[in-house]
């Protein structure tokens, strides 16, 4: 491997493998320093002992989970930063992500756990929001809480704070995001109403965010957009909407980092040192492992990254507005991060759309025999666009939809906004032809995949007890 290729693979690894939402600065800086210099001693380490699950030492055969925590610590920011308002340098778990790597297939997925997720915290002997575990007992208590509630093993740990995130954005200069409308962070739940992060973007279209703007943008929970009627409207999804914005932002950051780092030694050097003082890793995360992962994921592309937010529903527990896992939709996603495999039917929640809740199509009836978790759902009409099968998937479900389509020759993939996680809907034209209920097609199709045109931001309003889905798209800035 040439020096240039080695540098590019390192940039691919550090930016892609463990870089979603606020955590990119952490392992990016750590990885490059580990492999390219003798500065490993500069990395802050934490001993987690038995809290971590052992992983195979065989390169190319590892299946592992890395817990990534973006800590809500403002201690290293400028005293005049808007984020400092009302803070004492607290260190809370603002962003919690599990990165799942399977070296055998080269796949990579990330699962975001909303900080308002209501879970049992064994060491406290009571239930609370999940970020309470990090506040009360640090990474050890958070790891044990995740394993107790979801049976997901954690093999390694990485933490970065606000200043570390800003450092990585500074290394690439700016990151461009598309805004469908003017936007701001504005908390109307306090008196007087005010911004929590200082974010404000009054221009529409593709806008280049500075490091300060980027941090404020990805942290905004009280996100509002300006309508054509001049009225500011709040995003009803709060923390889940923020997760979607973070996913979109990091995809753009990944692409820009890889591009600049592969061609510009000056930028590569900045990536090496970005956020170095603001990263903590577990004591077992050693240079040899980082080198192996860099080799395994050297050619990984950002568009192949699978991102998930744990499917949840809104609830009120003892007067607290919290989020609870949606069991049917969350189960398959959790199974994936337990290690069931990216192509395993057990990681997919499959819903059969039929006119009378019972499919007579042999292809659909055989899916249960293949190991899929299948349930039937009635739907009076379905748009088929001239194809035999349609396979619907939500913002996180593209990879799962492709697995289902591999069992159904000629299936068309249809993206929608109201399906969570790896929940997939499937329908057969033959079921509807049998009852003469096929609706006229309103979609255009290619040979392999349905083409859907959507605005940069689409929102499905939530009903009582249901969380709306939001999808952001900055491909116009690519």
Q: What is the pLDDT of residue 292?
A: 78
In a domain, 92, yes or no: yes
pLDDT tens, residue by residue, 372-413: 988 887 777 788 878 899 999 998 899 999 999 999 998 999
Residue that wins the pLDDT comparison between 56 and 228: 228
What mean pLDDT do residues 59-80 have? 76
pLDDT: which is higher, 28 or 278: 278
Query: Does residue 219 register a pLDDT over 60?
Result: yes
Mean local confidence (pLDDT), 44-50: 87
Is 266 in the same domain as 376? no
Q: How far apart are CA 130 and CA 123, in angstroms?
A: 12
335: pLDDT strictly greater than 80 = yes
* Statement to judge: residues 195 and 267 lie in one domain: no
Q: Which residue has the higher pLDDT, 294 or 249?
A: 249
Does any domain span residue 234? no
Distance separating alpha carbons of residues 472 and 223, to the nearest angstrom: 13
Number of domains observed in the structure of the chain: 3
Return the pLDDT at 392.
94
pLDDT at 58: 87
Report whether 130 contacts 150 (CB < 8 A).
no
Digit-coded pLDDT (tens) for 73-124: 655 555 555 554 444 445 566 789 999 999 998 888 889 999 899 999 999 9
Measured in whole angstroms, how far is the alpha carbon of residue 468 from the centre of its chain? Answer: 16
- 379 with 276, same domain: the answer is no
Same domain, 294 and 383: no
Considering 19-28, 139-148, 359-368, the range whose residues carry the highest mean pLDDT is 139-148
| 157 beta partners | 67
Q: How far apart are CA 414 and CA 232, in angstroms?
A: 32
Residue 138: per-residue pLDDT:
92
Answer yes or no: do 87 and 200 share one domain.
no
Reported as a pLDDT band with limits 50, 70 and 90, residue 276 is: low
Q: Could you tell me if 364 and 426 are in contact, meaning their C-beta atoms sit under 8 angstroms apart?
A: yes
- Indicate whether 143 and 185 sit together in one domain: no
Instruction: Verify that 162 and 260 share a domain, yes or no.
Output: yes
Give the three-state DSSP class for 180: coil
**Structural domain that includes position 217:** 175-229
> Residue 396 domain-assigned?
yes
Name the domain boundary from 253, 283, 310: 310
- CA–CA distance, 323 with 202 (Å, rounded to integer): 31
pLDDT at 442 over 60: no
Q: Are the C-beta atoms of 381 and 439 separated by less than 8 Å?
A: yes
- The answer as to whether 316 is a domain residue is no
- What CATH number has the domain bearing residue 49? 3.30.420.590
Q: Clarify whether residues 387 and 427 are in a common domain.
A: yes
Over range 206-233, report the average pLDDT. 93
Q: In this structure, are 293 and 256 located in the same domain?
A: yes
Judge if 276 and 133 occupy the same domain.
yes
pLDDT confidence band for 152 (50 / 70 / 90)? very high
d(CA 167, CA 33): 15
Judge whether 471 lies within some domain. Answer: no
In a domain, 318, yes or no: no
CATH number at residue 359: 3.30.70
Q: What percent of the chain has pLDDT over 70?
A: 72
Tabulate helix, strand, coil % of the chain (nearest 5).
Answer: 35, 25, 40
Mean pLDDT over all residues of the chain? Answer: 77
**For 311-333, what is each residue's pLDDT tens digit?**
999 999 999 999 999 988 899 99
Q: What gap in Å lies between CA 220 and CA 196, rounded to an integer?
A: 7
Q: Does any domain span residue 389?
A: yes
In a domain, 468, yes or no: no
* Same domain membership, residue 299 and residue 421: no
Task: Please say which residue of 184, 203, 229 terminates a domain.
Answer: 229
Do residue 31 and residue 107 come from a single domain? yes
């Amino acid at each position: 491997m040439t020096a240039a290729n080695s540098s590019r693979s390192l940039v691919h690894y550090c930016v892609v493998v463990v870089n979603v939402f606020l955590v990119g600065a952490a392992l990016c800086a750590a990885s490059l320093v580990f492999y390219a210099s003798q500065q490993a001693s500069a990395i802050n380490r934490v001993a987690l002992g038995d809290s971590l699950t052992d992983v195979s030492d065989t390169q190319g055969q590892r299946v592992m989970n890395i817990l990534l925590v973006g800590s809500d610590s403002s201690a290293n920011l400028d005293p005049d930063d808007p984020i400092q308002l009302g803070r004492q340098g607290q260190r809370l778990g603002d962003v919690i992500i599990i990165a799942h790597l399977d070296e055998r297939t080269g796949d990579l997925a990330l699962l975001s756990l909303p900080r308002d997720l209501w879970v049992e915290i064994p060491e406290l002997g009571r239930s609370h929001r999940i970020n309470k575990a990090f506040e009360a007992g640090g990474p050890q208590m958070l790891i044990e809480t995740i394993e107790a509630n979801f049976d997901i093993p954690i093999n390694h740990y990485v933490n970065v704070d606000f200043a570390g995130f800003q450092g990585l954005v500074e290394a690439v200069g700016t990151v461009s995001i598309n805004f469908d409308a003017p936007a701001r962070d504005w908390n109307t739940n306090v008196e007087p109403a005010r911004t929590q992060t200082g974010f404000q973007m009054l221009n529409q279209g593709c806008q280049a965010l500075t490091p300060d703007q980027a941090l404020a943008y990805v942290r905004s929970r009280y996100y509002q957009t300006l309508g054509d009627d001049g009225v500011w409207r709040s995003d009803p999804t709060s923390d889940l909407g923020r997760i979607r914005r973070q996913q979109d932002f990091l995809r753009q950051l990944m692409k820009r980092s890889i591009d600049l780092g592969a061609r510009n030694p000056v930028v590569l050097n900045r990536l090496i040192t970005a956020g170095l003082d603001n990263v903590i890793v577990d004591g077992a995360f050693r240079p040899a492992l980082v080198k192996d992962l860099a080799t395994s994921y050297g050619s990984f592309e950002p568009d192949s990254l699978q991102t998930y937010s744990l499917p949840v529903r809104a609830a009120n527990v003892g007067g607290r507005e919290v989020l609870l896992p949606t069991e049917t939709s969350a189960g398959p996603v959790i199974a994936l991060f337990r290690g069931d495999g990216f192509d395993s039917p057990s990681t997919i929640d499959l819903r059969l759309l039929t006119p009378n809740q019972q499919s007579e199509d042999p292809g659909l009836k055989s899916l249960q025999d293949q190991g899929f978790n299948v349930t039937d759902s009635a739907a009076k009409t379905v748009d088929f666009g001239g194809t035999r099968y349609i396979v619907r998937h939500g913002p996180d479900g593209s990879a799962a939809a492709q697995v289902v389509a591999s069992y159904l020759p000629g299936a068309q993939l249809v993206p929608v906004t109201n399906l969570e996680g790896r929940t997939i809907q499937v329908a057969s034209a033959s079921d509807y032809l049998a009852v003469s209920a096929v609706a006229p097609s309103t979609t255009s199709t290619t040979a392999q995949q349905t083409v859907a045109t959507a605005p940069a931001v689409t929102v499905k309003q939530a009903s009582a007890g249901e969380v709306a889905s939001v999808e952001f798209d900055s491909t116009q800035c690519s």
